[in-house]
Structure 1
């Protein structure tokens, strides 16, 4: 006769033997560099679903150009920048104040006081918390002062082709010179050309035995034009 066992007395497999203790499971997960939460799959630690973007770099190639009517600023674009803040100080070492915010890489400071030296810098902005360092400092002066007129203009016939003219800058800040010719103080003048040198040769078609009058003006970097030099007559 076989002895029957009741369900209550039948031997059972220990199901807990197949379970990993919670502490041991946590150790395995940690060793694998994984994190897990109840009801969600484990993900690799250090992964990011939306890391914050880096702030833009400082604008490069920043320049400031002096002008007669305004100072002109320009710089290279900074990747990721949405706008740029422009700062100005009345003198080197002075305190800077923001004078404008622009979306382009240029700015014209038409409110600069004439003949006052200014220092400028700019920075790029992505958001209020993502701001670049400042650019290098550039300086400019809204220049409204005309240069001194050229001095000691001389013109001679018979020294090679045409009529050579020579003059002195006289300590002027002119960067170029414009030469004019006329046949009479009461007649309109003809512009012969512009040069950065202090000499010029008139190779135009000139009539013999007719007097010609020459004069020269100087122009500075801001575009201011000097008064005319003394007139020089060639017979």
Structure 2
């Protein structure tokens, strides 16, 4: 596998495991959804919606389940006030990332303030040429397409010389594929392999060794 001029990394479940964010951290968001439900969702459906908040953006969950306006607004407010009062950790193989040649960019999706909070807590903000955050309240995966294009144009990069590394086939992998970039899915614990990615690796160690496989 050739060397790339630039590599765009995802954050959640690529650089650090989101499962290490405790339920207590996001409890204010879930409480807001419950408190302002006001009969909009039945008890069973409400529980499903709360569970999906751990897997999908609040914007998508709200649209899928038909949150009332107040449920969504108050949940967004709660998100903006979240705090993490303990130290988050990257995956153990994170140091390998610094040895992989090419410009490094971090492009992540979520609520801007919360994503910034996680990045500062992890202490990785100095490890990248630029960090760009796609706010999930504003658009779907097309938001990442725009950010990837922004990087490509600013640094005068050819799409085929840019690698996109992440776990989500309908987010960064889809965006990279749309632009003709080389996509690599990192198969962290719990990540389901998706054939839309050009390559698949178990971790950054394999990436460093250029041991890519489609098998």
| TM-score for both structures, normalised by structure 1 | 0.18
> Which is bigger in relative contact order (C-alpha 8 A, separation at least 6)?
2
Greater Cα radius of gyration, structure 1 or 2 = 1
| TM-score for both structures, normalised by structure 2 | 0.19
